[in-house]
Each structure stands twice: as C-alpha cells, then as structure tokens.
Structure 1
Amino acid sequence: MAVQSVSSPADVRAEALPGFAVAAIREEGRWRCARIDEESLVDLDTAITELRSLRSTGAVVGMLDVDDEFFVLLRPIPGGVSLMISDAAAALDYDVAADVLDLLRVELPPDEELLDDPWPEGDLAILADLGLPADELAVLAAELDLYPDEQLLAIARRCGFGDAFAEVVSAR
C-alpha cells in the first residue's frame, strides 16, 4: 500500500522519546544498518525524508522502536512510502503513530473497548520480498511477550540483517 508523505508542522517536533530509529540498506547483495535521526520517533516525515535521502539500488527499510511500546516499519517506494505499525491503538498516545494512521487513511474504531488490545495496521507484506511473509510479520507484531526491540531484531534476522541491526542498536 503506497501513501504520500505529508509535511508535519514545526510544532510537532516535541522532546525526544526513548527508543531508536535504524535504516537497513541492501546494496550489491550486502546489508548495512545505520542510525537515523531520533526525531523520527516523534515526526514520521523526518524518518521518510531520511530514508529517501539514502538512495540505494537495493532495499531500504526504516525500523522505529518508539518508547518501547510499538514499532513502525517504513519503505520508500516510487510515489510514496509503504508503512506498517505494530499497534494502531498507540495513535491515541503518540503523534508518530497517529501520523502513520493518517497516511494509511485508517481511523481508530469508536468503541474504546476495541482499543484495549494492540493490533497491527498497514502493509503486512512490506518485507515479503525480503523473506518475511505477511502472516509471519502479523504473528511477530502480535507477540505481546516481546518488546519492540526484540520484535525488530527477530524481523531483522528473518530478513538477513540481524547482526548488522544488533550492532547498530547495541552501540546506542
């Protein structure tokens, strides 16, 4: 599912949240990972802009662990960005999660009881071409016994860049 990036107002850039933002880049059959601006944890447009600036002939994947509460996967694609959030209900408390749902054109259900349980939203097949089918990503996102950093590490391992990802995350 492709969506267009939207500019965030300057006042969206609030104080930094705990977590991390990492880009995984595949070039000539090899993966490398790098940190991206931690402002990406509060401003989705920052993450999208940084990922687009990485220009690669291969895959580019953004991975955000926001406040150890949920994760976001992003992939620049021609004409927009593909997005997936592990917990759509996080949009009630986090601007970046609300931005993801806005770009996906998804509204939260009006029944507050439905918001008690986390559910993934967006393109669950975002990493299918990298070895992680949509159904497996859905299972990982729903695994409540894992923290987002553990979920992202499992995703990175499944896609083939687990070591590079772990090295960048542990260096923070």
Structure 2
Amino acid sequence: MAEKEPVAGFAVSVVRENGQWQCAALDAVALTSLDAAITALAKKRSTGAVFGLLGVDDEFFVIVRPSPRGPSLLLSDAAAALDYDIAADVLDLLRAEPPDEEDESIWPEGDLDILADLGMPGPELEVIAGEADLYPDEQLQMIAQRCGFGDQFAALLDKI
C-alpha cells in the first residue's frame, strides 16, 4: 500500500482521569487515516473520557470519541470530504453523502452531542463548527475552554 501524503495540522488526545485533564500529541498519521486516529485513541486507557481533536490543514476539524459500540465522530465541514481522505473516511463511517462540489455552504456532519456530557451542548458545538472565519485550532480552543481543558490544550499546541 502506498504511503499517504503527510497532512498539515495537529492531532491531540484528550483524557479525563480522576477529574484531571491531560492532552497529548498523537502521531501525525492520525491526520491521514481515521483508522489510525481511532487505533491511537483506543490505546489510551481511562475510566473517564477519551477523545481526539484533529485540526487538519487549517481547514476543518474532526472530533473522534471511541466507544465499545464504535466511534462517535464529528466533522466540522462536510465539504472537506471532497479534498481530504480523513474527512471522506468520516463520512463513510457515518454513511453520509459528501456535498456537491458546487455547494459553498459549510455544515458539520456527525454527532453534535459528542461532548455534551463534558459541558459542550450540541447547539453550541454546531455554532462553533459553523464559524467560517475561525481556524480549526481557534474553534477547538473554544471547545476545550468550554469543557474545562483549555489551558492544557493551549499549552500542548504551543509545543507542537
């Protein structure tokens, strides 16, 4: 199998263990392959929340939350599936159709309540995902702040 082209951006795992948040960088392959991101997150053992935040090429973000019944996913911009393999993988797993190439609108696809139990209600997440003037790192920083791990997330992004 051919190597996938590297993709710019960042992949971060977020773990909540005993009331403490921990953010860690995931291998860059998590940006090119949804399977790689899910596998990397599945290795993070915790009794609390475990999920991944992927900011891809300053264009869109993906939230991945593994569970025994399969991952919950949120893609911030469904149209990204036209240009990025990982976004197309998300739509495939969600069994969602990519938009027409002529469609200029931005809309999220997936589970808007993916972080509702952590303080980020679906309607607010939808508003953040729809902020076309913000870069993915800015959108994810807003989400991190709302859920309570903003400082840890910002400190990690400064390092990677």
TM-score higher than 0.5: yes
Unpaired runs of 5+ residues, structure 2, are none
Shift of 1:112: 3.8
State whether structure 2 residue 124 is matched by structure 1 residue 128: no
Give the 3-state SS of the residue equivalent to 1:33 in structure 2.
Answer: strand
Q: Identity of counterpart residues, as a percentage?
A: 62
Q: Does 1:77 align with 2:70?
A: no
For 2:133 and 2:82, the matched residues in 1 are separated by: 22
1:85-136 Cα distance to aligned partner (Å, 9 max, x none): 0000000000000000000000124x443x2111100000000000000000
Q: Secondary structure at the match of 1:165?
A: helix
1:19 to 9, 14, 29: 9
Match of 1:42? 32
Matched AA of 1:135: P
User: Which 4+ stretches in 1 moved above 2 angstroms?
Assistant: none
Q: State the distance in 2 between where 1:15 and 1:108 align.
A: 21
Q: TM-score under structure 2 normalisation? A: 0.97
Secondary structure of 1:80's aligned partner? coil
Give the length in aligned residue pairs.
Answer: 160
Q: Is 1:157 the equivalent of 2:145? A: yes
| Residue in 1 that maps onto 2:154 | 166
Cα distance in 2, alignment partners of residues 125 and 79 from structure 1: 16
The one-letter code matched in structure 1 to 2:96 is: V
- Higher normalized contact order (CA 8 Å, seq sep 6+, divided by chain length): 1
1:141 counterpart residue number: 129
Residue segments in structure 1 that go unaligned for 5+ positions in a row: 1-9
| Shift of residue 78, structure 1, vs aligned partner | 1.6
Kept after mapping to 1: 8 A contact 2:82/2:101: no
